[in-house]
Amino acid sequence: MRPISTDEKSSQYRKIQELARYTAMRSAEEAPAKRKRMAEEKTVENISRGLEDLIANHWNKSLKGKWDSKSYENKARRLRLDIGTGYTNATRSLIVQTGQYCAYCDTPVFSDLQAQPILPAHWFPLLAFDYDKMLLACRSCREIKKNSPGRRPKDVAQLLDPTVYAWPHLFWKNSANGAILHFRIDLVELLEPSFGEPNIRWISESEIVDLIRRYRIGRVSVLRSDLFGNGRVVVNQPDGKVKRIAAWISPKIVGLQADAAADNLIKLLKLNEIGTFNQLNTLDRRLELRTMAYLKALDLRDRISGAKERNDERLYARFIELLRHTVRTTGFWGVWLSVFKSEPNIQQYLYTVFPGTANILWKIV
């Protein structure tokens, strides 16, 4: 949920020229010349218009959201397959502009990072391929968003409204220095699951000192097999017990009222999901990686503070350089911002490390 800035003018993405890759793959049995001609004829633009016409003429709203017939439903399904992913150039352009990070969870992804439309392509095929309506997404966020239940939205403008969903490239616009960030990330202890809301306990700053010490001596690890879900980060205690911890992302709360837009996006993308297979085709490690990034940030914050207290400028400069390299490979802009929230110089420094980040000094509450 990093506030990112994209520029369509500097993009090399061309919707009309982007080919439907699935069509060329599906026609592998055809002669190469014929296969090439078919691929050229079936551009994303052409297939999208066909699907849009099909939706307009044969999607019967009076039947509670059903196709007029099974044949139209099957035709729409084939057109969606023909569209394929078709975002190759958009992916490249967005990576250049915003870095090799998922726009939703901000996890660093060095392979399998793809541009994905905010609007479902099967409902809004033409709008979905607009560059300003696409964001980079990791595999976990893509799968979760794709499998999210819901019917065809009636109001596209409402779906794109940043006050409804805190879309990373929209929620920050018209904000000035000192604005309250829509979310924050805190370290929490995961207690035994309970019905309803997750059972968590916020870890106080006084507990952080011991936690950093245990992290440095290797007493923090990832639990790969757990009754309550895989991927939990655990702290091994002196008495042999373990404390399960997580970097928990929460909407901002002002006057006891949570930010609805941030809360909606957190829930839509399940950003606090404990790492389990669930309905995904891959292990969801987003929370695990975010938690380990939080611990690294706490460790560096402590070392930088120590160097400042001793007025050791040389050591301070070394830790700042280490910060640059660690942040770049670790990702999670929101983690570093939350940990260093009282250090405005560090906050400004983060903008030089994460490309495409909107240059605003945020207040975290």
Give the pLDDT band of residue 165 (cuts 50, 70, 90). Answer: very high
The rounded percent of the chain whose pLDDT value lies above 70 is: 82
Q: Which residues contact 106 (CB under 8 A, 6 or more apart)?
A: 1, 2, 331, 332, 333, 334, 335
Residue-level pLDDT at 280: 47
Task: Quote the mean pLDDT of the chain.
Answer: 83
Q: Which residues contact 266 (CB under 8 A, 6 or more apart)?
A: 1, 183, 249, 250, 251, 272
Asked whether 114 and 50 are in contact (CB, 8 A), the reply is: no
Residue-level pLDDT at 37: 60
Q: Which residue has the higher pLDDT, 94 or 32?
A: 94
Arithmetic mean of pLDDT, 118-124: 80
Q: Which residues contact 57 (CB under 8 A, 6 or more apart)?
A: none
Helix (H), strand (E) at residue 247: strand 242-251
pLDDT tens track for 297-317? 999 999 999 999 999 999 999
Give the pLDDT band of residue 295 (cuts 50, 70, 90). Answer: very high
Q: Which residue has the higher pLDDT, 117 or 126?
A: 117
pTM for this model (two decimals): 0.84
Distance CA 37, CA 289 (A): 45
CA atoms within 13 A on the CB side of 196: 2
Distance CA 60, CA 105 (A): 36
Residue-level pLDDT at 334: 94
Residue-level pLDDT at 349: 87
Q: Which residue has the higher pLDDT, 22 or 112?
A: 112
Distance CA 220, CA 214 (A): 7
Distance CA 138, CA 113 (A): 5
Distance CA 256, CA 260 (A): 12
Residue-level pLDDT at 271: 92
Arithmetic mean of pLDDT, 352-358: 90
pLDDT above 80: residue 342: yes
Print burial letters for 283-296: b (CB count within 10 Å at least 16), e (below 16): ebbbbbbbbbbbbb
Asked whether 52 and 80 are in contact (CB, 8 A), the reply is: no
* Least confident range of 73-87, 178-192, 258-272, 340-354: 73-87
Residue-level pLDDT at 156: 82
Closest to 365 in 3D by CA, of 286, 277, 252: 252
Closest to 116 in 3D by CA, of 148, 149, 159, 84: 84
Residue-level pLDDT at 40: 57
pLDDT tens track for 195-254? 555 688 999 988 999 999 999 999 988 876 555 555 578 888 888 888 889 999 999 988
Residue-level pLDDT at 277: 46
Distance CA 291, CA 1 (A): 16
Give the pLDDT band of residue 263 (cuts 50, 70, 90). Answer: very high
Give the pLDDT band of residue 279 (cuts 50, 70, 90). Answer: very low
Helix (H), strand (E) at residue 195: none
Closest to 291 in 3D by CA, of 304, 307, 276, 272: 272
Backbone dihedral angles phi then psi of residue 363, each to the nearest 5 degrees: -105, 135
Distance CA 57, CA 67 (A): 10
